[in-house]
Amino acid sequence: MNSLSRLICIRSMINSFNRSLYENMVAKGYDTAFSARIAGEMHTPYLADRMLRYISRSPLLPLEEVADEMLSILSERDALIKKHIAQNAQQKLNEFYRSR
């Protein structure tokens, strides 16, 4: 893959709300492909902001720590989604029992 197609691929992974995360990571010295991958996984402004705050607090963290934090943030998001699904299901069940 030549450098132009690689750059196009990297830019396509990044949307508007995590562009700031990508630019800050590259400015700190992280590899562009790694930065694009991290920024690409942060699908909401909240997730991108959490990762940006983590990256901003120290000079240059090891790649493993950054990847671990990304996985931790995504895991917390998944747990929150499951909690909301369970609450919604419980609410529907309660409504069903009340209507009988």
Q: Structural domain of residue 84, as residue ranges?
A: 3-98
Structure tokens at 74: 């995504």
Q: What is the pLDDT of residue 62?
A: 92
pLDDT of residue 4: 59
Provide the pLDDT for residue 69: 92
Sign of CA dihedral 91, 93, 96, 98: negative
pLDDT of 13 reads: 52
* Residues 48/13, Cβ–Cβ less than 8 Å: no
Number of domains comprising the chain? 1
User: Which is more confidently placed, 9 or 59?
Assistant: 59
**pLDDT for the residue 64:** 93
What are the tens digits of pLDDT across the range 39-73? 888 888 888 889 999 998 888 889 999 999 999 99
